[in-house]
Amino acid sequence: MAPLNDLEAERAHTATGDLTWSRGPFEISGTVFGSLVERAVQFVSNPVPVRMTEFPVRLLNAPEATRTWGTELIARYRRGELILMATHAFTHSTEFDFATAARREVPLTPAHTASLNAMIEGDAWGRAGLEAYFTGRQPLDNNPYREISRRYVLFGGLFERRVGRARFFVNVENLADIRQTKYEPLLRPSRLPDGRWTVEAWAPLDGRVWNGGVRVSF
């Protein structure tokens, strides 16, 4: 059977609702969202081929819809040169699993994510800021080392100084040097039917990153 045999087009239905409240330096926004994807196309491994003409993997339409719903909350505070912002998102997404013929949580979809940003900004001198991003546990697929990922927090910072027409800046991402390879290898002990030798990335792979430079306006 060819990998694209008898595929039908997916059909998606989505809905969202938003509400915003503000007073003085505070602003809070909330969102509720949901989606339904019918005949979702999934990548499925075949059993061991019995004929040379069979493919080891194929694409199939799932017999059940992929369902997703969640919420997002954003809070902002601004007074003078100070800007604060916090966010939180909750996502619940399930799909049909051909391997077990039952529903499962969609891989690489964390239920909880959050962020916190603080910035001091002045027209005369420049700006400075700190940021933190939280990623909760995620279900994994075809990972021989674990079924659920670890939680982690990424930290970063920025400093920019204005001198005349020039702006000198330096910033760092992933200050704590969070890397997936600190917990387990990327290389799988055996190859998947689709040819992959590596596991999927559920955390940063490049570690701490520094960069700096200068901007000049004319």
Q: What is the DSSP string of 133-162?
A: EEE---B-SS-SS-SBPPPEEEEEEEEEEE
pLDDT at 36 over 90: yes
Residue-level pLDDT at 54: 60
Domain-embedded: residue 21: no
For the stretch 111-163, pLDDT in tens is 999 999 999 998 888 999 999 999 999 999 989 999 999 999 999 999 999 99
Domain-embedded: residue 64: no
Domain-embedded: residue 195: yes
What residues pair up with 66 in beta bridges, in sequence order? Answer: 37
Distance CA 156, CA 38 (A): 40
Pick the range with the lowest mean pLDDT from 45-54, 65-74, 165-174: 45-54
Domain-embedded: residue 199: yes
Q: How many domains would you assign to the chain?
A: 1
Give helix then strand counts, H and E, for the chain: 0, 12
3 vs 21, which has greater pLDDT?
Answer: 21
Residue-level pLDDT at 118: 98
- Count of beta carbons in the 10 Å neighbourhood of residue 94: 16
Cα maximum dimension of the chain: 73
Residue-level pLDDT at 2: 46
Domain-embedded: residue 190: yes
Pick the range with the lowest mean pLDDT from 28-37, 52-61, 179-188, 209-218: 52-61
pLDDT (mean) for 39-50: 73
Both tokens of residue 13?
Answer: 């239905």
Domain-embedded: residue 148: yes
Residue-level pLDDT at 57: 78
Residue-level pLDDT at 46: 65
Domain with 159 in it: 107-216
Domain-embedded: residue 36: no
- Average of per-residue pLDDT values in the chain: 91
Domain-embedded: residue 39: no
Q: Report in angstroms the alpha-carbon separations of 190 from 109, 111, 149, 162, 194.
A: 25, 29, 20, 54, 12
pLDDT at 53 over 60: no
